Structure 1
Amino acid sequence: MLPGRPGESARVTDSDQVKAPDGSTYNRIDTTFVQMMIVHHGQAIEMADLAAERAGDTRLRALAGRISAAQGPEVVWLKFWLKERGLPESDPSHDHSTMPGMQSPADVTALAGLSGTNFDNKFVTMMSAHHRGAQQMAGDVIRGGNDERLREVANEMAVEQGSEIRRMQQL
């Protein structure tokens, strides 16, 4: 729904033609990606923050800190993207547990109960799968989204997470 000028009726338009305040267009794929990536990044930050006290390898601890430090500001930007367009931060119809790469609450709890090498191995397995899921989601918006800046951000996310997967495998 697009509101009319004073005294005019609102009108319905195709979502692919909705313009953001900056003049860019966005569609349902863009919006869904942003709403879901906020939750997805939230879980990655939760897992990465566990490494500060539990990781045995100092290099893994540092990489986890980098993951958290990078994804926190991305979440802020994603929330701003939605706010700027008057969109809600979440859609109750999304089942976040089915997002690619999402770890179950039981798995995150199990990870929190580990330390040292056991933590490191489980963390690398879980975070690698989590990052591959984010890359898949980014691919969806790169292929079908309308917002050019969002596609660029999604591409940057996918590239960075690929680098982090390689770093974790090296560790």
Structure 2
Amino acid sequence: MSVSEHGLRALAVAALTASLLSGCSGGDAPVEGPTATMLAPGRPGEPNATVTAGPTAPPAPAEADVTFMRMMIVHHGQAVVMSDLAPTRASDTRVKSLASRIRAAQAGEITLMRDWLRRNKKLPATGHDHHSMPGMITPEELETLESSRSTAFDHLYLTLMIRHHEGALTMANTVLATGTDTDTLQLAKDVVATQQAEVNRMRALL
């Protein structure tokens, strides 16, 4: 191949690359398709070739991911209800502070999990029996907690919330072993780290 032919090929490759890049970065309307270009070495005696790499759809979440998100919304919801009782019933300021942190963290995670289910078209999030989830307290236990005051409330809240957290740890460890979705696994890791630390704190308070 002559020098001039090499030059023409180089100009053509450069023009193609510029066209692809400009199509991805601007224009009157968004252009679907290639998002990156790379140079692939040619075979001996042949020129390099420009190839494009486009976006790939993420894999669908596993059933374990969906089950975890749906169940954990209900599980977290009960912890929020329990923690809402602390401001007017607890006597120990440390218990009140802990309950406030638990409520804020788990309410925020409920929002994240609902958004995940909506994004993956897995709503509604209902359909799970409370008693089928580890750590859930019974209606009778919740009624007793509601009627408790002062140090009796402190002790019962901590005792029930430790059990509740340990149930969440069981669920999180299960999805870490069986799930596939990146967001789900990250949330499960956060649950393990946060709630194990809170379990340790609550045991110390008892």
Q: Tell me how far apart the structure 1 counterparts of residues 134 and 125 of structure 2 sit (CA, whole Å).
A: 17
**Equivalent in the alignment of 1:69:** 104
Aligned structure 1 segments of 4 or more residues deviating by more than 3 angstroms = none
Report the number of matched residues.
Answer: 150
Tell me the amino acid that sits aligned with residue 46 of structure 1: V
Q: Tell me how far apart the structure 2 counterparts of residues 99 and 154 of structure 1 sit (CA, whole Å).
A: 16
Secondary structure at the aligned position of 1:140 is classed as: helix
Q: Tell me how far apart the structure 2 counterparts of residues 91 and 119 of structure 1 sit (CA, whole Å).
A: 30
**Equivalent in the alignment of 2:65:** 30
Secondary structure at the aligned position of 1:133 is classed as: helix
**Equivalent in the alignment of 2:139:** 105
In proportion to residue count, which structure has more strand? Answer: 2
**Equivalent in the alignment of 1:144:** 178
**Equivalent in the alignment of 1:154:** 188
Q: Tell me how far apart the structure 2 counterparts of residues 22 and 46 of structure 1 sit (CA, whole Å).
A: 38
After TM superposition, the score normalised by the length of structure 2 is 0.70
**Equivalent in the alignment of 1:8:** none
Structure with larger Rg: 2
1:97 CA drift (Å): 1.7
1:124 CA drift (Å): 0.7
Could you say what the CA RMSD is over the residues aligned between the two structures, in angstroms?
Answer: 1.4
After TM superposition, the score normalised by the length of structure 1 is 0.84
Q: Tell me how far apart the structure 2 counterparts of residues 168 and 96 of structure 1 sit (CA, whole Å).
A: 23
**Equivalent in the alignment of 2:124:** 89
The answer for unaligned runs of 5 or more in structure 1 is: 1-20
Q: Which has the higher contact order (CA 8 A, sep 6+)?
A: 1
Tell me the amino acid that sits aligned with residue 115 of structure 1: R
Q: Is the 8 Å Cα contact of residues 92 and 154 (structure 2) preserved in structure 1?
A: yes
Secondary structure at the aligned position of 2:85 is classed as: helix
